[in-house]
Chain A
Amino acid sequence: MTLKQLQSDFLANISSLDMLNSAENKRNFTDRLCQQGNITPDQRLSIYQNAYKARLCSVIDSDFPNLGKLIGDDLYNPLCQAYINAFPSESPSLNNYCAQLPKFISQYAPLKKHTITTELCDFEWQLRTSFDAKDSNALTVEYLQTVPSDQWPNLTFKFTHGFAIKYYSMNTVEVWKALNNDEQPELQKLDVPQAWVIWRQGLVTQYISVPVDEAYLLEAAQEGHCFESLCELLLEWWPEERVPERAFHLLQHWLQLGLLSQ
C-alpha cells in the first residue's frame, strides 16, 4: 500500500456519497486504522466525512446567503449535496468554489422550472464576484475633459473589473432584498425583463436597475463600440436632436457611479 493509494482511498471514503457502492472500500480503509479508546474506526472516519460536507456547505451558505431562505431546507440541503457531488473542489482556495452553482441550479431537476431560484442564485453570485474583483482606477470627468474634441467620436470605454449587466424576468432583486431583511418575499413575473447593473465602487458592491436604452448602450460600450457608434444606437429610442443630450447624460451617470475605468 503506497502513500498515494492510501490518500486516494481516504479521499474516496470521505467524499463518496454512494454508500452502497463504497461499503467494501470503506471496510478496506477502516481495516487500516487503529482501534483506539471507545470510538471505532468507522466513527473516526465519519468525523472527516461530516467535516468535508459541512465545510463545502458552509461555503455555499456564505456565498448564497439568501438562496436557502428562498427554497427552504428541504430543497436547499439536497441541492448543496448534489452540487458537492458534481463539483469537487480542485483549487487550494474556496473563493471560486461556487462559480458553477448558477448554471448547475438552472439544470437541477427539482428547481430548474423555478426562474426565481436561478435568477436569485445568479444575482448572489454576481454580488460575490464583484466584491472580490480586481481593483480599478475609476475614470473621472476631469480625465475625459482632457480628450481633444476631434477624438471623441472614436473614444471607447473600459469598465471596472467586476462590472456586469444582468436581465431578470422576475422581481429578483426585490425578492433578494426581502430575504436579506428576513421578510417574506412576494414573487412577481415582470412583463419585460429588467436590466440590472452590478459593480463595486471602492469597497462597496452596488447594484441599480437601468432603463432599456442605457442597458443596451452599456452592453455596446462593453463590446468596444466607440462614442459615435453609441450615439447612433441611441437613435432607436431617441429623436436625433436629443441623442447628444442623452448620450452625455448617460456618460455622466456612468462616471458618477464609477462604472468606467481608466
Chain B
Amino acid sequence: MLAPLDKQLPYSNGHKPFHGFGLGLRPEYYQDIIEQEPKLDWLEIISENYLVDGGKPLYFLDQFKERYPLAMHGVGMNIASTDSLNFNYLSELKKLINHVKPLWVSDHCCWTGVNSHNTHDLLPLPFNEESIKHIVSRIRQIQDYLEQPILIENLSSYLSFKTSDMPEWEFLTRICEEADCYLLLDINNIYVNSRNHSFEPLDYIQGIPKKRVIQHHLAGHADHGDYIIDTHDAPITSSVLTLYKQALEHFGPVSVMIERDDNFPQLNELLIELDTVREIFNDVQSR
C-alpha cells in the first residue's frame, strides 16, 4: 500500500514546493538549451520521448539532468481507460523515474485508448460517480506501483456527455481527495473548456482546493469563434494570462511552465514569454 502522503512529499502538510518558472522540453530546443543554458528554474520532459533503448533522447536527457531539475509529464498512462492497467508501460516509466529522479510525475485525467487500441489522443469521459470510482481505483494502483503520488492534469475537451452530473472542477477535486493525488492544473485548458462548454472559468479556479495544486501549465490555443482548439502552437493569449493571474490570487505560488508543441519560435521568444509570466507572478505576490 501507498505510504501516508505526509511521509512521502513535503506538500501534503500544507507546504507546497515552489520550483519557479520552467519550460516544456522539446527536441527542437535541445541544442539551444545546452549551448545557452538559459535562466530556467526547471524543465518538464515528456516521459514517452525517453522510453527508448538508446541514442540521442537518452544522451540529451542526461545532459539536461545535469543542468536543471526535471519534472516528468506523460501522455501514455491511460488512467481512465477501462482496459487493464498497462504494467509494462508502468514498469518502463518506473525505470525512467529512478533514472531521472524527477520533481514529480504527472499524466492526464483521461483515457487514450480501449480494447488495446491507442488513439494517442487525450479523450474525455463523463463527470459522474462511475467515472470517479473507476479513476480513483486506477490512480491508487498506479501510485502503489510507482511508490509515489502522481499529479493528474485537467484536460482540454471538445464534447461533453449527457451522463455527466457534476462540473469538471468537482469531478477533479473528488478524484484528488479520494485517490490522494495532486493536480497539474492547466490554466489554458480551463479557459479552452470554459469557452467550449460554456462555464465561468473563475468558478473552476475557485472550485479547486489549493492544497492539491502543485503545477500549472500555460499554453496558446486556436480560437475558432464558436470553439477553441488547444493547439500549443501560439503565444499564451491575454485571456489565459488574466486567468493565470486569478489563479495566482487563489492558489498562491505554484510552479508554472509554458508548453509549446508546434510552430516553434526561437527559444528567446519563449524565454521572453516566460518573463511575462514572472512579471505577473511578482506583481500578484508583491501585493
Interfacial chain A residues near B284, Cβ < 8 Å: none
Min CB distance, B30 to chain A, in Å?
A: 11
Q: Name the CB-closest residue of B to A89.
A: B118
Interfacial chain A residues near B76, Cβ < 8 Å: 92-93
Q: In whole angstroms, how far apart are the Cα atoms of A1 and B161 in the complex?
A: 12
Interface residues of A in 1-49 (CB under 8 A from B): 1-4, 6-8, 10-11, 14-15, 32-34, 36-39, 41, 44-45, 47-48
Interface residues of A in 123-138 (CB under 8 A from B): 131-136
Q: Among A8, A39, A52, A136, which residue has its beta carbon within 8 angstroms of that of B227?
A: A39
Interfacial chain A residues near B119, Cβ < 8 Å: 11, 14-15, 52, 55, 89
Q: Among A2, A11, A92, which residue has its beta carbon within 8 angstroms of that of B48?
A: A92
Interfacial chain A residues near B116, Cβ < 8 Å: 90
Given contacts A56-B120, A135-B58, contact A92 B162 (CB under 8 A): no
Size range of the interface on A? 35 or more
Counted as pairs of residues, one from A and one from B, with CB atoms less than 8 Å apart, the total is: 128
Q: Which of B49-57, B234-242, B269-277 contacts A (4 or more CB under 8 A)?
A: B49-57
Interfacial chain A residues near B134, Cβ < 8 Å: 3
Q: In whole angstroms, how far apart are the Cα atoms of A38 and B117 in the complex?
A: 32
Q: Judging by beta carbons under 8 Å apart, are B117 and A89 in contact?
A: yes
Q: Judging by beta carbons under 8 Å apart, are B53 and A88 in contact?
A: no
Q: Among A36, A39, A89, A134, which residue has its beta carbon within 8 angstroms of that of B120?
A: A89
Q: Is A95 an interface residue (CB 8 A)?
A: yes
Q: Is A155 an interface residue (CB 8 A)?
A: no
Given contacts A37-B226, A135-B54, contact A55 B121 (CB under 8 A): yes
Q: Among A45, A51, A52, A93, which residue has its beta carbon within 8 angstroms of that of B51?
A: A93
User: A51-68 toward B: CB 8 Å interface, digit per residue (1/0)?
Assistant: 110011000000000000
Q: In whole angstroms, how far apart are the Cα atoms of A34 and B116 in the complex?
A: 27
Q: Judging by beta carbons under 8 Å apart, are B114 and A34 in contact?
A: no
Min CB distance, A206 to chain B, in Å?
A: 13
Q: Name the CB-closest residue of A to B76.
A: A92
Q: Is A91 an interface residue (CB 8 A)?
A: yes
11 further A-B contacts with Cβ under 8 Å, apart from A3-B82, A37-B226, A133-B55, are A7-B81, A34-B164, A36-B197, A37-B227, A47-B158, A48-B158, A55-B120, A56-B120, A89-B118, A91-B118, A93-B48
Interface residues in chain B, defined as those with a beta carbon under 8 Å from any beta carbon in chain A:
48, 51-59, 75-78, 81-82, 86, 89, 111-121, 123, 125-126, 130-131, 134, 158-164, 196-198, 226-227, 229
